[in-house]
Amino acid sequence: MANESDPRDPRNFLRAGEELLWEGRPDPGGQATGAVRYLGCVGYLMLAIFAFFLAMGWANRDELEGGETILLIFLLISGGTGIAFLFGVPALSRAILKSTRYAVAGHSALIIQGVFGNTEVLRYPLPVGQQVRTLTDKAGRETVVFAWVRANVGTTQPGHRRRVTKAIGFERLTAEAGAAARGALEQIRGKAGADAKFERERIK
């Protein structure tokens, strides 16, 4: 039965004949991801640059001679970027985590995510030979990995793309939720058939 009060409830995305075997969601609290922490450091650096330009501008305010516009542009860029990276990015990351749902249903593992009214549904089949691994962070939260994908992460030289293997799974779960997710994944192993592929659906 669809849940109209929660647009990202996994029940809203079940296909005909599919049974919901497990559902969960990531823990939005705790330590930020490495990428968010890195951008936070960049935010501190940009605010330091903002403070430097502000101090220099104030100390030399009588000698600017029409350079106020350039100074203002530097202040807006450094200050705006610093605030966005230091406060905006962590807030957006928490919002995404709070809106994310996980599920195992039918023949697939589902990741349902999105913010600002947009929803993305990712469906991953679990082939017979696919390993299911568990990664545990320092806080004891688990990531149950069930797929690996090759992704481009830039170029090493003109005409050559650098590709890495990215782990896909249910992230930031409690140990109890992780165990339940692994059990559900084992139930769907191989059921999608050898020709089943990853599916992405965007809903506005």
User: What is the domain partition of the chain in residue ranges?
Assistant: 34-95, 102-203
* Mutual angle of helices 68-83 and 34-59, in 10-degree steps: 160
pLDDT tens-digit profile of 61-99? Answer: 777 676 777 888 888 988 888 888 888 777 777 777 788
48 vs 154, more confident: 48
For the question of whether the overall pTM of this predicted structure is more than 0.75, the answer is no
The CA-CA-CA angle for residues 120, 118, 82, to 5°, reads: 105
153 vs 79, more confident: 79
CA atoms within 13 A on the CB side of 52: 8
